[in-house]
């Protein structure tokens, strides 16, 4: 099984999935020209690279990180996702409470608000989820893991445990993108 079998809505393209190795050193005290890790992201096909939930892997000299989720969504996206969570919170709780998810990733992580955001009651049953600003899950492995024969099968297995969460997070974002595409004219405007 490969990534399309696990998450068919995610794009795996070497040109867009791989992060560049060059560092932006303009405002950094560290002027090393290259990163010390290589990373790839597999975002939703219908959305721009950093505007969807996706799967992520990075290999460094000291660790391998495998994870996914939605990192720093735009305010409109975050509001849309919170509305979706407010009506589907039990489904999200079930996804992150699944034994395989808990065993490999623990709980959802990411920055959050101290209070429930405007527009939602403070006593909402999903208040803890609505306070989140990022929806992330991941695990670390030793660097030697990347050169072992079990790396790729383990990567796919971990991605398969994350895929339901990624699908859930992308549902309100992708449906909006697809509905916008449907309302756009097929060709150039006629005058």
pLDDT digits 0-9 by tens, 44-99: 998 887 889 999 999 999 999 999 999 999 999 999 999 999 999 999 999 999 99
- Is residue 45 within 8 Å of residue 10, measured between CB atoms? yes
Average pLDDT value over all residues in the chain: 89
Predicted pLDDT at 177? 56
**Domains defined along the chain, listed by start:** 3-170 (3.30.930)
Residue 33 pLDDT > 90:
no
What distance lies between CA 55 and its chain's CA centroid? 5
pLDDT digits 0-9 by tens, 63-74: 999 999 999 999
Predicted pLDDT at 15? 84
Share of residues in the chain with pLDDT > 90 (%) = 71
The answer to whether the predicted template modeling score (pTM) of the entire model surpasses 0.75 is yes
């Amino acid at each position: 099984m490969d990534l399309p079998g696990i998450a068919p809505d995610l794009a795996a393209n070497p040109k867009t999935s791989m992060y560049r190795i060059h560092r932006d050193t303009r405002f950094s005290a560290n002027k090393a020209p290259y990163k010390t890790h290589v990373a790839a992201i597999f975002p939703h096909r219908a959305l721009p690279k950093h505007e969807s939930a996706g799967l992520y892997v990075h290999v460094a000299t000291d660790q391998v990180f495998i994870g996914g989720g939605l990192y720093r969504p735009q305010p409109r996206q975050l509001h849309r996702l919170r509305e979706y969570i407010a009506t589907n919170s039990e489904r999200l709780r079930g996804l992150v409470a699944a034994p395989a998810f808990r065993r490999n990733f623990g709980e959802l992580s990411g920055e959050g608000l101290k209070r429930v955001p405007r527009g939602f009651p403070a006593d909402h049953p999903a208040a803890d989820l609505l306070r989140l600003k990022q929806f992330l899950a991941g695990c670390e492995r030793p660097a030697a893991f990347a050169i072992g024969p079990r790396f790729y099968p383990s990567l796919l297995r971990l991605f398969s445990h994350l895929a339901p969460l990624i699908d859930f997070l992308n549902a309100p974002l992708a449906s909006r993108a697809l509905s916008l595409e449907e309302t756009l004219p097929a060709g150039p405007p006629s005058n």
